[in-house]
Amino acid sequence: MAVPSRFVAPMRRASAVARLSSPLRHCRPGFQARWTGNTSATSEPHQQDAKGTVKGGAAPAKTVKFTSDSYPEIQRDSKFAKITQEHVDHFKGILGSESAVIDGVSQDATDDIEPFNSDWMRKFRGHAKLVLKPSTTEEVSKILKYCNDNMLAVVPQGGNTGLVGGSVPVFDEIVINLSKMNQIRSFDEVSGILVADAGVILEVADNFLAEKGSIFPLDLGAKGSCQIGGNVATNAGGLRLLRYGSLHGNVLGIEAVLPDGTIVDDLSKLRKNNTGYDLKHLFIGGEGTIGIITGISIICPQRSPAVNVAYFGLESFEQAQKAFTEAKSHLSEILSAFEMMDGRTQKIIQKVAGTKLPLEGDYPFYCLIETSGSNADHDSEKLQNFLEHVMETEIVQDGVLAQDQTQIQELWACREGITECLGHWGGVYKYDLSIPISRMYDLVNDVRDRFTEAGLLGDDESFPVVDVVGYGHMGDSNLHLNVPVRRFDKKVEKMIEPYVYEWVANEKGSISAEHGLGVTKRPYVGYSKSETMIRLMKQIKDSFDPNGIMNPYKYL
C-alpha cells in the first residue's frame, strides 16, 4: 500500500493547516523591499530577513539592524558602567557553571550572544556582551545586587518573543535570561493552583496541566517559546482572555527580585488576601522595569473536554456585534473565544496561502466562536439553539460548524494564519488597540479612506500600501489594525502616526492593548495615560529601581 498509515487522512488535513500557517515558504513576493521598520507600529508574528523578505525560518541575527541605529534619538546613558573583566569574573564566581555565563567580554562570543541580542521579529538588536543564566532565585538576587552596586544596566529576558522590543538590550545591558529556571514547583489538584519557576515555557506548563485535567488560563501563538514569567511580565492577553480573564485575576502570587537584591516572596496561594496594597500587580505587565520575576503562583481552571468551533460570514460589523451579544446570551458560560476577521484578511489568506475558505460566498466580516464545556451534549444543545437563532434572524448569513478536531484546527487557522500571510508583500504596520466595541471597525475604514484619498493604496507596484485590514479579539474589544505594505515609505508613516493614536485617544481607548510598551510604544504612552498617571508610574519606577538599571530606554 502506498500510504498505509492510519494517520494519513488526518494528516492531509493537518497539512492543510500547516500550509496555511507557513504559506510563505511557497510563495515569493514579487517585490522585495527593504523593511527598516522604525515606526512605533508593532511589527509582528512573522520574521523578516535583511531584504525584507518574509520567510518561514529565522533570519540570521546579524542582518538585523541595531536598535541604536533605527532609533538614533535613544542615547546610551553614561551613568551606567561598562562591563569589565572583573565584573565578568565576579558573575562567573556567582554562577559557577560554564554554561550559565556567555562571556563576550574576555573573548569573541558574538555568534553565541546574537540570539539573545536580537528579538523574535528580527527588528531589534542590541550590543550586549554578556548573558547570564541563573538557575535559582538566590543567584538572581546576587547578580542584581552586584549590578546595582556597580551601576550595570540589565535586561530581564524570558522566551524573547515579545513584540515591542522589550526583551533585548538597546546598548550593552547585561541580558539576564531565565531559561534555566524551569522547574514546576507544585500543583494542587484540588485548588488547581500551580507554582512554578518563571522560566517554565508556557506550553510545557500547559502540557503538564493537561495531564492533570487542568489548563493554563492563557494561550497564545508563541506558546512553544514564551515563558510564563515573560507572560506575566507583559500581562499577555491571548486567545482565551474572554473566558479565563486576565493574568491580573489569575496570578495569585509572585516571587521577584528587586534591583538591590531583595527577594520579594509573595508567592501566595490564596485567592483572597486583602492585607494592604497588592504589589504583585506592579510586576504583572511591569515588563522587567522594577524587578525580575522568578516564580509565580497561578490558579488554573479545569480543562474542557468538549470544544466546538463555528465560523460565520456576516453582512456588516453591526451584525458581528449582534452575533456577539447573542453568543453571550445563548452560550454564556461555555463561550471561550469570539474573534472577528474582516473579509479582506480572509481573501489575503486565500490568496497568499492558497487555501480554500470554509464558506462559498464572500462576506465583509467573519467571526469565529469557540465554546468549551464539560458536557458535550449540553454544549451541543446550546450551540444548536444559538446557531438556529442567528441563522433564522439573519444575523449570520452563512456559517460552518467544525465536525472534528481537524476542522477545529482548520477554522482556527483562518484566524491565526492572518498575521503571517499579511507579511507577504514586504512589511506590515501593526497596531494592537483597545477601542470601544461599537467603534472598533470605524478606525479601519477611516485609515483606509486616508490612504485611498492620498493615492497611496492600490493594486499594483506603484502604490506602497496593499490594503488596510482589521481583525482581533472582538470579545475583548481588542482590534489588530494592520497595514500591509510593499515597501517602507515615510509618506505612509506620516499618514498613520500620530493619526491612529489620536483617534484611539479620542475614543478613550488604549494604544497598546496586550503587547505592552517596550521600545516601540514608549513615546506614545501619553495618548493612553494622563500626566498624573505617568508621574505616579515614574515614582513607582524610582522607588523600586532608584538607579534605573532595570531594562532602561523602555516603558516609561
Ligand X SMILES: Cc1cc2nc3c(=O)[nH]c(=O)nc-3n(C[C@H](O)[C@H](O)[C@H](O)COP(=O)(O)OP(=O)(O)OC[C@H]3O[C@@H](n4cnc5c(N)ncnc54)[C@H](O)[C@@H]3O)c2cc1C
Residue selected from 131, 181, 247, 402 as contacting other proteins according to rule CB under 8 A: 402
Stretch that binds ligand X, among 104-112, 286-294, 398-406, 463-471 (CB under 6 A): 286-294
> Hey, which residues between 39 and 98 contact other proteins (CB under 8 A)?
97-98
**SS3 label, residue 59:** coil
157 touches 176 (CB < 8 A): yes
Closer of 244 and 312 to other proteins (Cβ): 312
- Which residue type is seen at 198? A
- Which residue type is seen at 358? P
Residue with cell 542615547: 75
Closer of 410 and 514 to ligand X (Cβ): 514
Closer of 37 and 156 to ligand X (Cβ): 156
Instruction: Please report whether residue 358 would count as binding other proteins according to CB under 8 A.
Output: yes
Instruction: Please report whether residue 421 would count as binding ligand X according to CB under 6 A.
Output: no
Residue nearest to ligand X (CB): 230
How far apart CA 500 and CA 433 sit, in angstroms, is 9
Give the closest residue to 174 by CA, choosing from 245, 276, 95, 59: 95
Choose among ligand X, other proteins, none what residue 126 binds, the Cβ cut-off being 5 to 8 Å by kind: none
Choose among other proteins, ligand X, none what residue 237 binds, the Cβ cut-off being 5 to 8 Å by kind: ligand X
Q: How many CB atoms lie within 10 A of CB 359?
A: 17
CA dist list (Å): 167 to 17, 174, 463: 30, 11, 34
How far apart CA 33 and CA 157 sit, in angstroms, is 31
Residue selected from 47, 67, 227, 510 as contacting ligand X according to rule CB under 6 A: 227
H helix or E strand, kind and range, residue 258: none
Instruction: Please report whether residue 369 would count as binding ligand X according to CB under 6 A.
Output: no
How far apart CA 160 and CA 227 sit, in angstroms, is 9
Instruction: Please report whether residue 173 would count as binding ligand X according to CB under 6 A.
Output: no
Compute the least distance from the CB of residue 67 to ligand X, in Å: 13
- 27: its cell numbers: 510563495
- 470: its cell numbers: 482589521
> Hey, which residues between 294 and 323 contact other proteins (CB under 8 A)?
305-306, 310, 312
Closer of 65 and 522 to ligand X (Cβ): 522
How far apart CA 529 and CA 237 sit, in angstroms, is 19
Residue selected from 21, 234, 336, 510 as contacting ligand X according to rule CB under 6 A: 234
**Four-point Cα dihedral 103, 105, 111, 112, nearest 10:** 10
Compute the least distance from the CB of residue 340 to other proteins, in Å: 18
> Hey, which residues between 11 and 40 contact other proteins (CB under 8 A)?
12-14, 16
- 361: its cell numbers: 460566498
Instruction: Please report whether residue 387 would count as binding other proteins according to CB under 8 A.
Output: yes
Instruction: Please report whether residue 230 would count as binding ligand X according to CB under 6 A.
Output: yes
Residue 400: alpha-carbon gap to chain centroid:
28
Closer of 414 and 433 to other proteins (Cβ): 414
Closer of 148 and 319 to ligand X (Cβ): 148
Residues that bind ligand X (CB under 6 A): 45, 120, 155-163, 166-167, 178, 198, 220-222, 226-227, 229-231, 233-234, 236-238, 287-288, 292-293, 514-515, 518, 551
